[in-house]
Amino acid sequence: MIQAILVFNNHGKPRLVRFYQHFPEEIQQQIVRETFHLVLKRDDNICNFLEGGSLIGGSDYKLIYRHYATLYFVFCVDSSESELGILDLIQVFVETLDKCFENVCELDLIFHMDKVHYILQEVVMGGMVLETNMNEIVAQIEAQNRLEKSEGGLSAAPARAVSAVKNINLPEIPRNINIGDLNIKVPNLSQFV
């Protein structure tokens, strides 16, 4: 499970802080600070894994981070996650941000903090990886954005807006894979039901 996701810049200013397990406010700040000091010490050419130490849950927890230009993306995970898998998940997250903001930079994260959170919610939900398919994530976000636009434009006619919103359907990429031989269905289904 993912314990926390932290994004901060080269000066240790937090840009996104998301904990999936409750820590008191002071401890959260302390975790951000100490994590920053841990990763700051490390060159770019040494490994991307760190031990969390005593602050976050002890030896079962690892910090996995990536450094992009001015930002550090740090995921704190327990032993049930694959290190390299998380490393690529960070990549997916950043690439998605890049798609949604068109050449994402630190300023986007600051001024659209709420949007970054929405994107993150589509990738990781309650500490579990929800979606790793970039197109799917972007599609969800775009659906929400359309909602925003329609809302802005229809503010004069609230009733119509409401009905419009209600009729919006999330796009469904055809992912049904029951096509002939390409069946992923679990074989002995009847046994369960």
Partner 1 sequence: MSDIVEKTLTALPGLFLQNQLTGGAAAAKAPFSSRLGGLVRGITALTSKHEEEKLIQQELSSLKVTVAAPTTTLKMMKECMVRLIYCEMLGYDASFGYIHAIKLAQQGNLLEKRVGYLAVSLFLHENHELLLLLVNTVVKDLQSTNLIEVCMALTVVSQIFPREMIPAVLPLIEDKLQHSKEIIRRKAVLALYKFHLIAPNQVQHIHIKFRKALCDRDVGVMAASLHIYLRMIKENSSSYKDLTGSFVTILKQVVGGKLPVDFNYHSVPAPWLQIQLLRILGLLGKDDQRTSELMYDVLDESLRRAELNHNVTYAILFECVHTIYSIYPKSELLEKAARCIGKFVLSPKINLKYLGLKALTYVIQQDPSLALQHQMTIIECLDHPDPIIKRETLELLYRITNAQNITVIVQKMLEYLHQSKEEYIIVNLVGKIAELAEKYAPDNAWFIQTMNAVFSVGGDVMQPDIPNNFLRLLAEGFDDETEDQQLRLYAVQSYLNLLDVENAFYPQRFLQVMSWVLGEYAYLLDKETPEEVIAKLYKLLMNSAISSETRAWLIAAVTKLMPQAHSSTIVETLIQEFTVSLDTCMRQHAFELKHLRENVELMKNVLPVDKSCEGMVVDASLSFLDGFVAEELNHGAAPYKPHHQRQEEKLAQEKVLNFEPYGLSFSSSGFTGRQSPAGISLGSDTSGNSAETGLKETNSLKLEGIKKLWGKEGYLPKKENTATDEVEAQPISQDSVIMENVDQIITKRDQPPALTQSKEEKAKQLLASSLFVGLGSESTINLLGKADTISHKFRRKPKVKEIKSGEITSAHTMASSSFNSLSNEEDYYLDTLQDRGDKELKKLSFNSELLDSESFTELHMVEKLSNCNLSASSLFADNNLEIFHPSQSTAVSVANEVSLASSLLEEPTEHMHSDLMEVCNNETISVSSYKIWKNDCLLMVWSVANKSGSELKNAMLEITSEENLKVTEQVECCLPIIEAESTKNFQCSVQMEQPFTEGILSGIINYQMMDSHSVQLEFSVALSLLDFIRPLKISTEDFGKLWLSFANDVKQNIKMSESQAALPSALKTLQQKLRLHIVDIIGNEGLLACQLLPSIPCLLHFRVHADGLALWFRSSCSTLPDYLLYQCQKVMGES
Cα 31 from Cα 43, distance rounded (Å) = 20
Please tell me whether residue 20 binds partner 1 under the rule CB under 8 A. yes
Other C-beta atoms lying within 10 Å of the C-beta of residue 180: 6
Q: Tokens for 14, please give them.
A: 């937090």
Q: Judged by CB, which is closer to partner 1: 71, or 140?
A: 140
- The radius of gyration computed from the CA coordinates of the chain, to the nearest angstrom, equals 20
E strands, 44-184, where? Answer: 49-51, 62-68, 71-77, 124-125, 128-129
What part of residues 92-121 is at the interface with partner 1 (CB under 8 A)?
92, 107, 110-111, 113-114, 117-118, 121
Task: Give least dist CB 134 to partner 1, A.
Answer: 8
Please tell me whether residue 53 binds partner 1 under the rule CB under 8 A. yes
Query: By three-state DSSP, how is residue 49 classified?
Result: strand
Task: Give least dist CB 94 to partner 1, A.
Answer: 14
Q: Which helix (H) or strand (E) holds 145?
A: helix 134-153
Task: Give least dist CB 74 to partner 1, A.
Answer: 14
Please tell me whether residue 188 binds partner 1 under the rule CB under 8 A. yes
Inter-residue long-range contacts of 24-29, CB under 8 Å, 24+ positions, other chains counted: 27/55
Task: Give least dist CB 50 to partner 1, A.
Answer: 6
What part of residues 152-181 is at the interface with partner 1 (CB under 8 A)?
162, 165-166, 168-170, 172-178, 181
- In the list 10, 40, 51, 157, the residue contacting partner 1 (rule: CB under 8 A) is 51
Please tell me whether residue 31 binds partner 1 under the rule CB under 8 A. no
- In the list 69, 80, 156, 159, the residue contacting partner 1 (rule: CB under 8 A) is 80
Size of the site for partner 1 (CB under 8 A): 81
Task: Give least dist CB 73 to partner 1, A.
Answer: 15
Cα 53 from Cα 35, distance rounded (Å) = 10
Instruction: Tell me whether residue 182 is exposed, middle or buried, using C-beta atoms within 10 angstroms of its C-beta: 0 to 12, 13 to 18, 19 or more.
Output: exposed
- In the list 5, 39, 50, 77, the residue contacting partner 1 (rule: CB under 8 A) is 50
